[in-house]
């Protein structure tokens, strides 16, 4: 049976859900998105994701999305598609308008709203082995706090990691390791958990914030401060966090072994505590 998705007010079979060739997300990457994780049929952190979606919309001067509609539709898609462990992808674009202009449409335009829920299983084997990462220069814009669909530098960075036989690329900005191509970056340096501060250069991840809370509750020292590239060699542990990866240990960076080459105790403790929470 085909997946049912939600597009512009309608529940549709996946194959019939199409958007205009003039949609500004397609032409100009003029849109925003969220990815929400669903555990045993229940979305995790929906409120945080919706709050961030509303903020992204405000920052791009998009009309305020109807958050109640999105939440209701998300739950309905889980029900219709009989999903238990899943992700919900939500995208809002400024809509379709012709002729193409860079500036906002001058006439009335309805935003495009797409919601897709699909089955998802975490890569549990990778939690055991950890992943390899590489560093790449950050070539993105200065508003990475907005969760926009303009992800070309992220896609190129992830492909560079793939080409290098690694699973994630860590962006380097002004001499600091700031975040992953689709994740937030953490390390243990001098016995403290470090992660880049919430600001316009990174996406403040929902999972990042949960991980910080959990780490503090577990009694770890946490410092929201960047990790200089010159200190990466001294970090005893590294990991990334995201909705889909939760806490994913990094066991090698640019071919250099991190710690003893296995997931470290802090990452494992965080993952365990967060899995219990989830
Ligand atoms: N990405 N930083 C970037 C650049 C991201 O794309 C993501 C998430 C995160 C982590 O955010 P969160 O914990 O809220 O998932 C940080 C999603 C999962 C994606 O693009 O698929």
Q: Tell me which of 119, 152, 178 is where a domain ends.
A: 119
Q: Does residue 58 sit in the same domain as residue 78?
A: yes
- Choose one of 184, 239, 241 to mutate for the ligand 1 pocket test, by most ligand atoms within 8 angstroms of C-beta: 184
Q: Does residue 99 sit in the same domain as residue 137?
A: no
* Integer Cα distance of 8 and 93 in angstroms: 11
What CATH number has the domain bearing residue 94?
3.30.470.10
How many structural domains is the chain composed of? 2
Q: What are phi and psi of 90, to 5 degrees?
A: -120, 125
Q: What are phi and psi of 255, to 5 degrees?
A: 85, -5
* Integer Cα distance of 222 and 193 in angstroms: 5
Q: Whose CA is nearest to atom 4 of ligand 1?
A: 182
**How far, in Å, from the CA of 108 to the mean position of ligand 1?**
32
Does 56 sit in the ligand 1 pocket, CB within 6 Å? no
Q: Does residue 115 sit in the same domain as residue 247?
A: no
* Integer Cα distance of 194 and 202 in angstroms: 14
Q: Whose CA is nearest to atom 5 of ligand 1?
A: 182
**How far, in Å, from the CA of 82 to the mean position of ligand 1?**
25
Q: Does residue 186 sit in the same domain as residue 132?
A: yes
Q: Does residue 109 sit in the same domain as residue 128?
A: no
What percent of the chain is helix, strand and coil (3-state, nearest 5)?
30, 30, 40
Q: Does residue 31 sit in the same domain as residue 58?
A: yes
Match 């390791």 to its residue by tokens.
Answer: 177
Q: Does residue 241 sit in the same domain as residue 260?
A: yes
Q: Which pair of structure tokens corresponds to residue 269?
A: 């403790």
DSSP 14: G
pTM above 0.85, yes or no: yes
Q: Tell me which of 119, 141, 162 is where a domain ends.
A: 119
Q: Please tell me the predicted confidence (pLDDT) of residue 278.
A: 84
Q: How far is CA 8 from CA 17, 70, 155, 197, 240, in A?
A: 9, 11, 27, 36, 34
- Choose one of 52, 152, 242 to mutate for the ligand 1 pocket test, by most ligand atoms within 8 angstroms of C-beta: 242
Q: Does residue 86 sit in the same domain as residue 141?
A: no
* Integer Cα distance of 118 and 36 in angstroms: 11
Domain around 114: 4-119
Length of the chain: 278
Extract the residue ranges of the chain whose pLDDT is less than 70: 1
Residues noted as catalytic: 147
Q: Does residue 19 sit in the same domain as residue 42?
A: yes
Q: Does residue 260 sit in the same domain as residue 134?
A: yes
Q: Whose CA is nearest to atom 3 of ligand 1?
A: 182
Q: Tell me which of 91, 119, 147 is where a domain ends.
A: 119
45 CA: nearest ligand 1 atom: 14
What CATH number has the domain bearing residue 170?
3.20.10.10
Q: Does residue 85 sit in the same domain as residue 128?
A: no
The residues pairing with 53 across neighbouring beta strands, listed in sequence order, are: none
* Integer Cα distance of 126 and 245 in angstroms: 9
256: Cβ–Cβ under 8 A, 6 or more apart, which residues?
Answer: 233
Q: Please tell me the predicted confidence (pLDDT) of residue 118.
A: 98
State yes or no: cis peptide before 99, omega within 30 of 0.
yes
Q: Does residue 128 sit in the same domain as residue 161?
A: yes
> Using CA of residue 107, residue 108, residue 110, residue 111, what is the dihedral sign?
positive
**How far, in Å, from the CA of 89 to the mean position of ligand 1?**
12
């Amino acid at each position: 049976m085909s997946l049912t998705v939600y597009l512009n007010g309608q529940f549709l079979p996946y194959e019939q859900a199409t958007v205009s060739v003039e949609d500004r997300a397609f032409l100009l990457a003029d849109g925003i998105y969220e990815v929400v994780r669903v555990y045993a049929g229940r979305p995790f952190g929906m409120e945080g994701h919706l709050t961030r979606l509303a903020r992204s919309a405000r920052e791009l001067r998009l009309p305020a999305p109807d958050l109640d509609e999105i939440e209701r539709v998300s739950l309905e898609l889980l029900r219709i598609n009989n999903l238990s462990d899943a992700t919900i992808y939500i995208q809002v674009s400024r809509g379709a308008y012709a002729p193409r202009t860079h500036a906002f449409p001058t006439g009335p335009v309805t935003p495009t709203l797409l919601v897709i829920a699909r089955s998802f299983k975490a890569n549990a084997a990778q939690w055991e082995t950890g992943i390899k990462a590489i560093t790449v220069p950050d070539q993105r814009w200065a508003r990475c706090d907005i969760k926009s669909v303009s992800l070309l530098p992220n896609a190129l960075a992830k492909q560079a990691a793939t080409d290098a036989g690694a699973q994630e690329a860590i962006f380097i900005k002004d001499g600091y390791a700031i975040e992953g191509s689709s994740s937030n970056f953490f390390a243990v340096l001098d016995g403290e958990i470090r992660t880049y501060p919430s600001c316009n250069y990174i996406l403040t991840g929902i999972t990042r914030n949960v991980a910080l809370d959990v780490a503090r509750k577990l009694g770890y020292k946490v410092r929201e401060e960047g990790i200089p590239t010159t200190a990466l060699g001294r970090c005893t542990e590294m990991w990334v966090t995201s909705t889909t990866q939760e806490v994913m240990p990094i066991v090698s960076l640019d071919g250099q072994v991190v710690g003893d080459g296995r997931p470290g105790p802090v990452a494992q403790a965080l993952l365990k505590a967060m899995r219990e929470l989830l």
